[in-house]
């Protein structure tokens, strides 16, 4: 069983197709690990044991009949962040407001995973309604970092990153509104891709901020992430922002990366931007050293690394929180205690249903963001805040486009620090918001980013770096990340807590 959990998702898929591992055997290995270890981690909100085993048995029958044998993730277990709807299965957004809610339909990405032959293990923990950076605001409890159980796993997709890092899922899906795939991936020493906005359908994703949200994969390495992204990307007529007619095609990218590595200078021909203002005050010395060390290694391997500047970075966080909270205020207005979700038993009239259900059903951080969003959308403040934030968003997008017109990708930190102690920032919302400084600008600009391990910092905790590319440049970013993971072994290091030995 431990051998199964030591494989990457693609290695496991290959073993299943070769017949050396059965689909039910793979599912059972992970389900047993969840039972044994997740009480300490808290990565899962719901586990679908019976359904997963039934899906695995059906996958084995399909494989025996010659169906979908060419799908690289066929029969491989997975789990998804609990803001992604799976028909008939509890979907909570980690909120009391939706405790017990079972959607009557599948999200587009759930449909695509099923079509690829994936086996659904369960739903993963997050900050309530994806609002947070530590997975401490979940109604169902904190998700702990597998590298150090006293530290946060990051957020809001902390459950997804922790599950992969702890060997409780071979790969997982998260969502990224302001860094929620990349930051927990960095904190937990795994790899995550925030795709270009519009490349993956948001249909069936419980919305936080609709112009910023994007679903993406988290895996052991970038090749697992690329396989998952290829499976879930592409056009969906039910999402008006879905703009890719065909899914991403990474065929040949791995071969290209391996061929480049064999030449000895695999980054030759790559132009890499290193933003000087990303390494100013506020960045911890261990994260700075690891990220700059990665830049020097790329340069040694042939890359043309140049320092540059990306203006307006200091305005990214305030612009992001104004826009995100405004959209959250609108999106979360549907949770009123009438149509579905939690309804207060203390209400005595219609207004009481609205007021008490929302007061009791939402947590503190969600209320904070809804109130901020309502304020910036209110009469007299709309132009002063929301309109200006949209203008800043346009300027930030233009600044990135200008830099990426000259370079293949931008190399930056993911977070100012490694994973911090549980409780370390939850009482200081401003400090937590400012920690998003390196990630939110990509969501504002709609650009893709890959977070991948590049070293270790304080307390032996993983450090992640970020590769940022132009719109729909995922194949290039995957190639660059794949080269990095061919010449380094940071991504192969495993958390040793829980005695999982992987």
CA distance linking residue 239 with residue 380, whole number of Å = 32
Q: Which of 100-104, 244-248, 496-500 has the lowest mean pLDDT?
A: 496-500
Three-state secondary-structure class, residue 500: coil
Cα angle for residues 324, 316, 134 (degrees, 5° grid) = 60
Q: Report pLDDT for 496.
A: 72
Q: What is the DSSP string of 286-311?
A: HHHHHHHHHHHHHHHTT-EEEEE--T
- Token digits for 85? 């709807």
pLDDT exceeds cutoff 80 at 501: no
CA distance linking residue 315 with residue 445, whole number of Å = 13
Q: Report pLDDT for 502.
A: 40
* Mean of all residue pLDDT scores within the chain: 96
Mean pLDDT of 453-466: 98
Task: Please state the pTM of the whole predicted model.
Answer: 0.97
Q: Report pLDDT for 70.
A: 79
- Is residue 156 reached through a cis peptide bond, with omega within 30 degrees of 0 on the bond before it? yes
Confidence of residue 499 (pLDDT cuts 50, 70, 90): very low
Confidence of residue 498 (pLDDT cuts 50, 70, 90): low
Does the active-site annotation cover 156? yes
Residue recorded with tokens 């300027």: 395
From 71, 81, 138, 175, the catalytic residue: 81
pLDDT exceeds cutoff 70 at 113: yes
Task: Count Cβ atoms within 10 A of the Cβ of residue 434 and give its class: 0-12 exposed, 13-18 middle, 19 or more buried.
Answer: middle
Could you tell me the residue ranges of all domains in the chain? 2-264+406-499
Q: Report pLDDT for 69.
A: 67
CA distance linking residue 212 with residue 330, whole number of Å = 14
pLDDT tens by residue, 43-67:
999 999 999 999 999 999 999 998 7
CA distance linking residue 64 with residue 417, whole number of Å = 49
- Cα-Cα-Cα-Cα torsion 365, 371, 372, 373, nearest 10 degrees, comes to 110
Task: Express as a percent the part of the chain with pLDDT over 90.
Answer: 93
- Token digits for 341? 């979700």
- Helices of type H across 233-349: 253-262, 285-300, 313-331
Closest CA to 295 of 265, 273, 269: 273
Q: Report pLDDT for 66.
A: 86
Which H or E element spans position 268? none
Provide the β-strand partners of residue 79. 122, 172
pLDDT exceeds cutoff 70 at 400: yes
Return the CATH architecture of domain 2-264+406-499: Alpha-Beta Complex (3.90)
Q: Report pLDDT for 368.
A: 97
Q: Report pLDDT for 82.
A: 98
- Token digits for 10? 């693609």
Which H or E element spans position 384? none
Three-state secondary-structure class, residue 80: strand
pLDDT exceeds cutoff 90 at 190: yes
- Token digits for 66? 């010659």
Q: Report pLDDT for 251.
A: 92
Three-state secondary-structure class, residue 313: helix
From 138, 153, 156, 357, the catalytic residue: 156
Chain centre distance of CA 281: 27
Q: Which of 15-19, 293-297, 497-501 has the lowest mean pLDDT?
A: 497-501
Three-state secondary-structure class, residue 461: coil
From 71, 175, 180, 242, the catalytic residue: 180
pLDDT exceeds cutoff 50 at 500: no
Provide the β-strand partners of residue 52. none
pLDDT tens by residue, 5-28:
999 999 999 999 999 999 999 999
CA distance linking residue 344 with residue 353, whole number of Å = 6
CB-based contact 106:120 (threshold 8 Å): no
Q: What is the DSSP string of 114-153?
A: HHTT-EEEEEE--SGGG--SSS-S-TT-PPEETTEEEEE-
Q: Report pLDDT for 396.
A: 97
CA distance linking residue 272 with residue 308, whole number of Å = 10
Closest CA to 444 of 385, 399, 384: 399
CA distance linking residue 165 with residue 187, whole number of Å = 10
């Amino acid at each position: 069983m431990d051998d199964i959990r030591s494989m990457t998702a693609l290695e496991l898929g290959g073993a299943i197709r070769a017949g050396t591992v059965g689909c039910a055997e793979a599912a059972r290995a992970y389900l047993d690990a969840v039972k044994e270890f997740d009480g300490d981690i808290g990565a899962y909100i719901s586990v679908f044991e019976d359904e997963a085993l039934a899906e695995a048995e059906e996958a084995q029958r399909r494989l025996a009949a010659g169906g979908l044998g060419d799908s690289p993730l066929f029969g491989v277990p997975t789990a998804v962040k609990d803001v992604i709807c799976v028909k008939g299965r509890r979907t909570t957004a980690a909120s009391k407001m939706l405790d017990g809610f079972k959607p009557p339909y599948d999200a587009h990405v759930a449909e695509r995973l099923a079509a690829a032959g994936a086996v659904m293990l369960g739903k993963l923990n997050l900050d309530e309604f994806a609002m947070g950076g530590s997975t401490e605001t979940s109604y169902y409890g904190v998700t702990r970092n597998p590298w150090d159980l006293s530290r946060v796993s990051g957020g809001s997709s902390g459950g997804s990153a922790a599950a992969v890092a702890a060997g409780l899922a071979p790969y997982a899906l998260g969502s990224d509104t302001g860094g929620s795939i990349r930051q927990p991936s960095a904190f937990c020493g795994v790899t995550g891709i925030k795709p270009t906005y519009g490349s993956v359908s948001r249909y069936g994703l419980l919305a936080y901020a609709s112009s910023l949200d994007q679903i993406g994969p988290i895996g052991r390495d970038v090749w697992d992430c690329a396989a998952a992204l290829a499976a879930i990307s592409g056009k969906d007529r039910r999402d008006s922002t879905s703009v890719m007619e065909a899914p991403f095609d990474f065929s040949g990218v791995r071969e290209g990366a391996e061929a480049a590595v064999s030449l000895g200078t695999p980054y030759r021909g790559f132009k890499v931007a290193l933003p000087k203002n990303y390494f100013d005050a506020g960045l911890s010395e261990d994260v700075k050293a690891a990220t700059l060390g990665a830049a020097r290694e790329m340069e040694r391997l042939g890359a043309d690394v140049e320092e540059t500047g990306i203006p307006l970075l200091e305005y990214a966080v305030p612009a992001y929180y104004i826009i995100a909270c405004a959209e959250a205020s609108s999106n979360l207005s549907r949770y009123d205690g009438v149509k579905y979700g939690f309804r207060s038993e203390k209400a005595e009239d219609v207004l009481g249903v609205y007021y008490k259900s929302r007061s009791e059903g939402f947590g503190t951080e969600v209320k904070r963001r809804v109130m901020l969003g309502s304020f910036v959308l209110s009469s007299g403040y709309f132009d002063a805040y929301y309109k200006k934030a949209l203008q800043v968003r346009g300027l930030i997008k233009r600044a990135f486009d200008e830099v990426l017109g000259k370079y293949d990708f931008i190399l930056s930190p993911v977070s100012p620090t490694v994973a911090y102690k549980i409780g370390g920032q939850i009482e200081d919302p401003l400090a937590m918001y400012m920690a998003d400084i390196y990630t939110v600008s990509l969501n504002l600009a709609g650009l893709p980013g890959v977070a991948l391990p590049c070293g270790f910092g304080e307390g032996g905790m993983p450090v992640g770096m970020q590769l940022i590319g132009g719109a729909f440049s995922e194949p290039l970013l995957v190639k660059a990340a794949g080269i990095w993971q061919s010449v380094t072994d940071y991504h192969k290091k495993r958390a040793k807590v829980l005695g999982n030995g992987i």
